[in-house]
């Protein structure tokens, strides 16, 4: 008898259906052991084996009792942080901690979630640019509209000679130096994802500087989706951030710029070198939270 059978059988007045909550206590001779208060009893599995200690619900129809999950078991999650052998994931049902299965994911990866007796485990990596859903904040009842958080990884990066020399992308590392422009490129993904009418909540930038020398690098907005021409730099400002995810200065201006398909660049400033994408796939990534 499957779950549908139990539900349908419950419509029969001779076999009313009751739903109760308990705690999964283990497995014995093909049956699930469930604790309710000071009592422990056995019931049938319905294709779902929880972790010992998980809250569960038991559907009872007549003399039959069937174990069902108490809440949703998401199949996909977005990696927030990694601390081997586990990682934290954001899912549609809220944040969870999962065991890392196979190759270690990185922050922002979208992964499959496999549920077993030891708890959730990460499975296949499903995407590189992902949506990490968050509940819309609504303090005091204001602020209509859904809130989204999305991590966009750069699709390319590098440095070219500055004018009057012709463009020559001679290194994959974005550099802030006297004779170079550095840049991260995002393709059309931001422009195609965030509607023009969206309003900014927050903008973070992933910094991985592998050489810190001289003055602060000058960050700027550039006009290219792809590394195929000489970039035009605008809105320069000196910024000397530590490595890691950092709140980006002048976030509202750069949010408007990124929505048009432009990128983030370096226009001189010391002799600073940032990781290329082979060294760090998140170098130059932006994590944007916006409201629609």
**Residue range(s) defining the domain that contains residue 167:** 139-291
**Torsion angle of the four alpha carbons 162, 191, 252, 218, in this order, in degrees rounded to the nearest 10:** -20
Q: What is the three-class DSSP state of 38?
A: coil
Domain closes at, from 69, 97, 120: 69
Q: Please say whether the beta carbons of 148 and 131 come within 8 A.
A: yes
Q: What's the pLDDT at 129?
A: 43
Residue range 240-254, pLDDT digits in tens: 999 999 999 999 999
Task: Look at the pTM and tell me if it is higher than 0.75.
Answer: no
Domain identity same for 158 and 36: no
Q: What's the pLDDT at 119?
A: 78
Domain identity same for 101 and 181: no
Q: What's the pLDDT at 126?
A: 72
- Residue 60 tokens read as 């009872």
Q: What's the pLDDT at 142?
A: 45
Q: Give the number of other CB atoms < 10 A from CB of residue 51.
A: 12
Domain identity same for 117 and 147: no
Domain identity same for 54 and 82: no
Domain identity same for 118 and 157: no
CATH number, domain with residue 86 = 2.40.50.140
Domain identity same for 49 and 121: no
Residue range 31-84, pLDDT digits in tens: 889 998 888 888 888 777 787 888 888 888 877 888 888 777 788 888 887 888
Domain identity same for 149 and 262: yes
Domain closes at, from 21, 50, 69: 69
Domain identity same for 62 and 92: no
CA 107, 155, 287, 248 torsion: positive or negative? positive
| Domain total in the chain | 3
DSSP state of 192: H
In a domain, 221, yes or no: yes
Q: What's the pLDDT at 13?
A: 53
Q: Please say whether the beta carbons of 183 and 231 come within 8 A.
A: yes
Domain identity same for 7 and 64: yes
In a domain, 134, yes or no: no
Please identify every stretch of the chain with a pLDDT value under 50, giving residue numbers as ranges: 4, 6-8, 10-11, 128-143
């Amino acid at each position: 008898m499957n779950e549908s059978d139990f539900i349908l059988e419950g419509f029969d007045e001779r076999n009313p259906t009751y739903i109760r909550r308990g705690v999964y206590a283990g497995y014995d001779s093909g049956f699930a052991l469930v604790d309710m208060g000071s009592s422990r009893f056995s019931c049938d599995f319905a294709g779902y084996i929880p972790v010992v200690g998980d809250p569960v619900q038991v559907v009872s129809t007549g003399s039959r009792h069937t174990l069902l999950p108490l809440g949703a078991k998401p199949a996909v999650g977005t990696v927030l942080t990694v601390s081997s052998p586990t990682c934290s994931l954001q899912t549609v049902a809220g944040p969870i901690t999962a065991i890392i299965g196979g190759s270690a994911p990185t922050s922002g990866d979208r992964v499959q979630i496999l549920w077993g007796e030891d708890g959730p485990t990460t499975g296949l990596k499903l995407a590189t640019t992902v949506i990490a859903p968050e509940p819309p904040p609504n303090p005091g009842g204001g602020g209509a509209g859904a809130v989204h958080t999305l991590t966009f990884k750069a699709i390319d990066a590098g440095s070219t000679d500055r004018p009057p020399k012709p463009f020559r992308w001679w290194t994959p590392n974005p550099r802030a130096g006297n004779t170079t422009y550095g840049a991260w490129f995002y393709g059309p993904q931001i422009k195609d994802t965030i509607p023009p009418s969206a309003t900014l909540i927050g903008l973070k930038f992933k910094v991985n500087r592998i050489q810190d020398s001289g003055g602060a690098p000058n960050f700027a907005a550039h006009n290219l989706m792809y590394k195929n021409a000489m970039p035009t730099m605008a809105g320069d400002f000196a910024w000397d951030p530590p490595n890691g995810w950092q709140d980006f200065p002048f976030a509202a201006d750069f949010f408007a710029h990124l929505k048009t398909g432009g990128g983030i660049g370096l226009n001189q400033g010391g002799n600073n070198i940032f990781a290329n994408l082979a060294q760090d796939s998140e170098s130059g990534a932006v994590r944007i939270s916006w409201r629609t």
